[in-house]
Amino acid sequence: MTPKPSICDLTAANLAHAIAKGDLSSCEVVEAHLGRIEEQEPHLTAFVTVDAEGARRAAQICDAAPAPIGPLHGVPVAIKDLTDTAGLATTYGSVLFRDHVPAEDDLVVARLRRAGAIILGKTNTPEFGFGAVCTNRLRGPTRNPFDPALTSGGSSGGSAVAVAAGMVPLAHGTDFGGSVRTPASFCDVASIRPTPGRIPSPRRPLGWDMLASHGFLARGVDDLELALSVCAGPDAYDPLSAGVVNDDRPLAGRPRIAVTPDFGVARVARDVRARFGGACKALARVADVAEASPDCGGAIETFRALRAAHIASSYGELLRTRRAELTPTVIWNIEAGANLSAEGYLHAERRRTAIYRSFRALFGRADFLVAPAASVFPWPNEISDVMSIDGMQLETPIDYLAVTFIVSLVGFPVLTLPVLRGVNELPFGIQIIAPPGSEARLLAFGRILENELGFSHRRPKLP
């Protein structure tokens, strides 16, 4: 007889349905997840801040409401600690902001609350999101629930671990170069990085910047779709959000999938290539699969340049005034853009445009493009940066992310799903990429892979 799942094993969609029907109260659900956090947080360090009393108050309000407030009524969620939460400490993973309490929610948080979600706390991240290991001078390292000696990945590692360990069914993340996708791959969960602007960022200083995006991590596609449904939609103060066009044509016939282990330029470990090859064989059961890639020549240098320019612009003043309080990783990231010329920046933008058009051309003959969601498997927490793959030295500490940051460069939506694994195999995920605006089709295909191929989360054995 199959044992009845605990509250913490239920998905966000299941919980929302059970609370709406009256089978569970929001207070019960919140207490169950707070209990899981209390039990697992000493081992895993997924959270910077847990707001137990605030969550309990919000649950009581939900239970007293005459009808569900919204689609996430009474469902606990976690927010990455790079994103502002009104009245709840937001540290950005930095001692410089250990006492920072925002007056207002970021729009993505406000929309989650309006949908009835209950914020349980803020998940751990490297300082300002810069780092391969999810640690900072406040908390960490955030440990992988499948092997606590290993990293959870950066920079949404706290959110990935919170979801994988059942501390919350759904967590928010942000993704610049792979920050929801790498932790999702390492922790056997699903993630979505939507088309930039799909979830607006009206306070973003560079309004037309599409390198960074909000995203979500969950244990399945249904929960990602639910989160996206309540957070998507234009905002007058985000110029990118006004330009997102829905491309919601349904899947017709057998999908055509282009697969690439490396986009022709990324360094990818041999054991990752082997696992990816097995995933591609499985995909052939539900789709027509052919190896193909956009022309990504120069993509690594292009992303390095654009990322460095953005970081230097955003954090250069901190480097000048508070250098001694910053981690070495943050210092390296800021200094990398200090000497970039206007000509160098525009050259990178020209190359980026060419790569985008090559992606577009590929989607004239394929419905989806599939690639690994990480170039390596999780490594020990004591190793701060990936500087070589299979013994080959990398030029910079971010190059191991090339297999994900190439997609950030062009702004196509990406769904990450865990693939099947053996008993002793570490988690591993794939990126499923679609044209901008086609999240509905992407999620529909993800559901096929979950149901027909078993590309879905399996719970870790928790202490």
Inter-CA distances, 153 with 180, 331, 342, 460, Å: 9, 20, 33, 16
Q: Which of 26, 156, 179, 375 is catalytic?
A: 179
- The whole-model pTM stands at 0.97
Residue 45's nearest CA partner among 218, 161, 195, 200 is: 161
| 360, containing H or E segment | helix 342-362
Q: Which of 26, 80, 122, 201 is catalytic?
A: 80
- Contact by Cβ (8 Å): 228, 262: no
The domains of the chain, with CATH numbers, are 9-300+332-453 (3.90.1300.10)
Inter-CA distances, 345 with 59, 158, 310, 410, Å: 49, 33, 10, 16
Active site residue 179: yes
Q: Is the peptide bond before 155 cis (omega within 30 degrees of 0)?
A: yes
Q: How does DSSP assign 387-443, residue by residue?
A: -EETTEEPSSTTGGGHHHHHHHHHT--EEEEEPP--TTPPP-EEEEE--TT-HHHHH
Taking each helix axis from N to C end, the angle separating 12-21 and 221-231, rounded to the nearest 10 degrees, works out to 70
CA 117, 121, 127: angle at the middle one, nearest 5?
A: 130
Residue burial 439-459, b: 16+ Cβ < 10 Å; e: rest: bbbbbbbbbebbeebebbbee
| Upper half-sphere CA count for residue 420 (Cβ side, 13 Å) | 13
Q: Which amino acid is located at 309 in the chain? A: A
Tokens representing 425?
């195999």
The residues near 350 (Cβ < 8 Å, ≥ 6 apart) are: none
Q: What is the DSSP letter of 70?
A: S
Q: 3-class SS at 264? A: coil
The pLDDT profile of the chain, 463 residues, written as one tens digit per residue, is 445 679 999 999 999 999 999 999 999 999 999 999 999 999 999 999 999 999 999 999 999 999 999 999 999 999 999 999 999 999 999 999 999 999 999 999 999 999 999 999 999 999 999 999 999 999 999 999 999 999 999 999 999 999 999 999 999 999 999 999 999 999 999 999 999 999 999 999 999 999 999 999 999 999 999 999 999 999 999 999 998 988 878 888 899 999 999 999 999 999 999 999 999 999 999 999 999 999 999 999 999 999 999 889 888 898 899 999 888 888 888 888 888 899 999 999 999 999 999 999 999 999 999 999 999 999 999 999 999 999 999 999 999 999 999 999 999 999 999 999 998 999 999 999 999 999 999 999 999 999 999 999 999 999 8
**Residue whose token pair is 């707070």:** 34
Q: Which of 26, 152, 155, 408 is catalytic?
A: 155
Active site residue 155: yes
**Residue whose token pair is 């009835």:** 116
